[in-house]
Chain A
Amino acid sequence: MRDMILSSSEFRLLERLRLNPNKAFPGRVRGERLTTRRGLSIEFADYREYTEGDDLRHLDWNVLARLDQPIMKTYRDEEDLAVHVLIDASASMSFGEPTKLAQARKIGAALCYAALMGGDAVYPAAIGEPPSKPQPLRARSSYPRFCRWANRLGADGTVSLEASVKSFAASSARPGIVMLLTDGMDPNTVSAIRFLAGRGHEVNLLQVLTPMELRPDIEGDLRLIDIEGGPPVDITANSITLKEYDRNLNAHIDSLKTEVLRVGGRYALTTTDEVLEDIVRDHFIRGRWLAA
């Protein structure tokens, strides 16, 4: 049986929600999104003086009758939104029960479903893997394709988060909203966010951590081995060390959050033990990531 990642109740929850980007993006096909580009659509945008050659169907006859002055009505164009769902598939995402990757996959599926329901174009991509040319998913019927892609993901990426994100940003991906689902366990994550924003993307970062990462329950003399490589670190896990780790983690989270907000995006932190309904309610709806 095909794994649809989400349960039926979660589908029902998401069916009435749409992505709510902070800013509008030009689309390639007519969709359900308003674009800043003035065009011929049905939603009024502004007035301008008539110039020769204009389509007289958009002349405001009422103004002409009252003021005897030809004024043209302009409309905002309605286009589809490019939604890039970037799921971190690096080795560090294999931690937790369920794993951070599984949690990110589920959240990504939820966002993808909401985007598809809103008529947006979803571009799934894996962080930590070599870059590929993703094909857009459109319409709810494309959701199973997302699931097949997502279920194939394993936490075995070998490319760093920074390098992978920069590679994505440097590609010809349409500017749109980036749903970055990662644990952010890369000291250069801030740089990656800045790079994404610099390419015109709206960066929405959902940081997925395990409860163990937030409150480590370790003691004794340990040699910490980074699963993504690098020299090991010898520590004595005592109250002093744990306090210092806590300070470092909070500082790192704060730096991510600050950078995301600075570039006009959104930030949320969740854990692997938080259920999707709570995430949607507490982070996405309350944080206006999704709107009804």
Chain B
Amino acid sequence: MNLLNPGVLWWLLPLGGAIVALYLLRMRRRDLQVPANFLWPERTDEIRANSLFQKLKFSWLMVLQLLALLLIGAALSRPQTEQSGLAGDLTVIVLDASASMSASEGARSRFDLAVRASEQIIADAQPGDKLAMILAGPLPEVVFPLSSDPALQRMKLRDVEGTDAEADVGEALRLAAALAKSDDSAQIILISDGAFEEPENFSPGGASVQFVKVGDAKENLGIEAIGAVQTGEGKNVYVGVRNYGDASQSASLSIHADGDLINSSRFDVKPGETWGRTFPAPANSEVLEARLTDGGALTADDYGVELTGSAAAKQILVVTPGSPFLERVLSLEPGVVVDKSGSVPDREKRSSLGPGQYDIVIFDGVPEEEVKSLGILSFASIGPSSPVSSSGSVKNPTFLSASDHELLDGVDLSGVYIADALRLQLKGSATAAADSDSGPLIVARDGLQRQVVTSFRPGNSDFPLTVAFPIFIANTIEYLAGAAASNVLEVATGQSLALPADEVEVEAPDGTKTTYTGKDGRTVVRGFSRIGPHKVKYAGLEKTVYASLKDPLESSIKPRSDVSLGGSDTEGTEAAIRLMDIWKPLALLALLILAGEWFMFARRS
């Protein structure tokens, strides 16, 4: 039972008290002399005006009036009862396909239960009800658009699959709200275990939001951390396993180096605690994998991977007072770890002793300095070791031509507007990858320390707004990494990867192959949805992309009883429900009681 307007109930007390008070008033009776009163029954059904107080007497009229008041108050509070089925003509189902939804619930997965709940919703729909379904995976996907075709909906539903990735439930809900905004009585039904971050900027508008909770399992172990370190005793790999459940658990951990088992261990871990251990690893190993056995209901977090050596993630330092476009693109780039600083740390300067930490240093809006990194990318920043010199600035240079340099694979600069740029002159072995009518736009220099210089800052152009920008950054990182570039990559499950090819074939760990096609020499592989190594073939190359889930939120599989959606807490239900207004029968009953009360009053008066 739900009350839309519970505040009305506060009025029942004073109003009921007023009715009782009326019956507490003593009747002012008219005296009438009679020959004898022994024939008269002493009936005092007080129904008229009153004066002073008296002892409260039982009266059916009072009972009926209080009952009618109660019913009217209840009707005005807009009570609603929960019934299975759909509430409105338009319903958008958001099906959570995150990693936690692949948790095992007995013989079936949590995702299977969610699909079954979706089937029930489709079955409960009335003819003419419009249903749409959005799969909340790493990227929201419309399973079927708004339609009134249950057969089509069931067919599409059979094809949906869960993922081992974190889902963007917020984006899926925003998309659902956009679909539902055409109907004020629309309903958004989220079928999930509630294991997701509170969606930001989500407003259901006039639609009602319902959270159908699935799953019961809560015991789970997950690989929380895996990292490799080179010590004086050799290469070591550290693995941390966290118990996200409520009970102690035992599990086995096996460590693999480049596919070969090198160690294993059996351990116990208490609830809420992390078990960690360091294992020795072969010095020349590149891919270190950890696999957990008996790791609880969720297997997606039973796998971890760490690339080392040349395969390790590229360490990039961005020296800038602030460059949002650049930082955003770098955060989406797989296989890189990005740090940001306003100036070059002393230990990274070439004048300091010892090795540097970063593979690539990017200067944007800060004068270039001599650093120890393998490569340097400078945006309109000239330093002593730059492959170019500057002879002033130019306004609105126009792109003229591009060489076949690998930096510009899949990058089209035609039409890019540049407000301000430096007029560059090449130095030494530097070559112009792209030219403008005012000189080189992009310059590259090969060597022990590769360098790339652009004559303009991204913020002084619309280059970051074009699809060419992330490709250029990816090409530049790969170019600057040089010999360090590897054929293995590590990504988080669900992460997308843009590759310079018109067609990319991805072979998932289970052997299924998917071919992605792009255009303009660029193809985006949308999400590696399963954990483990994926073989990626493109443009005659083959890379292995290792996907793993490192998300404590997904590993914490205990279903949430309620979730915060659109700024309000939404309580979970076992199945899709609709709230039926029951004020009408209550009002009718109140009317009948008032009619009965009137009839009784008329008979007695």
Contacts and interface: CB of A to CB of B under 8 A. Distances in A.
Q: Is the interface of A mostly helix, strand, loop or mixed?
A: mixed
A67 interface: no
Listed residue (B30, B35, B40, B42) with the most chain A CB atoms within 10 angstroms of its CB: B35
A220 B48 CA distance: 8
B35 A244 contact: no
B36 interface: yes
Interface in B22-54: 27-48
Contacts of B604: 236, 238-240
Interface in A114-166: none
B605 interface: yes
A6 interface: no
A221 B43 contact: no
A183 B46 contact: no
Which of A219, A226, A252 has the most CB atoms of chain B within a 10 A radius of its CB?
Answer: A226
B277 interface: no
Nearest to B601: A238
Interface residues of A, number: 34
A215 to B, nearest CB: 13
Given A223-B30, A225-B31, A186 B605 contact: no
Nearest to A252: B39
Contacts, number: 101
A183 B46 CA distance: 31
B603 interface: yes
Contacts of B48: 220-221
Contacts of B45: 236, 238, 240
A248 B34 contact: no
Contacts of B44: 221, 234-236
The DSSP consensus for interface residues of chain B is loop
A186 B39 CA distance: 10
A238 B47 CA distance: 10
A185 B40 CA distance: 12
B27 to A, nearest CB: 5
Given A220-B30, A239-B604, A240-B604, A227 B35 contact: yes
A97 to B, nearest CB: 14
Contacts of A32: none
Nearest to B49: A221
A265 B47 CA distance: 46
Nearest to B45: A236
Given A221-B46, A221-B47, A241-B43, A226 B605 contact: no
B39 to A, nearest CB: 4
Interface in B135-170: none
A165 B43 CA distance: 32
Interface string A164-196: 000000000000000000010111000000000
B436 to A, nearest CB: 105
Contacts of B37: 224-226, 230, 232-233
Contacts of B27: 221, 234
B40 A233 contact: yes
B458 to A, nearest CB: 93
Contact of A224 (B34, B46, B47, B603): B34
Contacts of B29: 221-223, 234
A185 B30 contact: no
A218 interface: yes
Interface of A: 92-93, 95, 183, 185-187, 213, 218-228, 230, 232-236, 238-241, 244-245, 248-249, 252
Interface of B: 27-48, 603-605
26 contacts: A92-B36, A187-B38, A213-B35, A218-B32, A220-B605, A221-B46, A222-B32, A223-B29, A223-B30, A224-B32, A224-B37, A226-B35, A233-B40, A234-B29, A234-B42, A235-B41, A235-B44, A236-B45, A238-B604, A239-B604, A240-B604, A244-B43, A248-B39, A248-B40, A248-B41, A249-B39
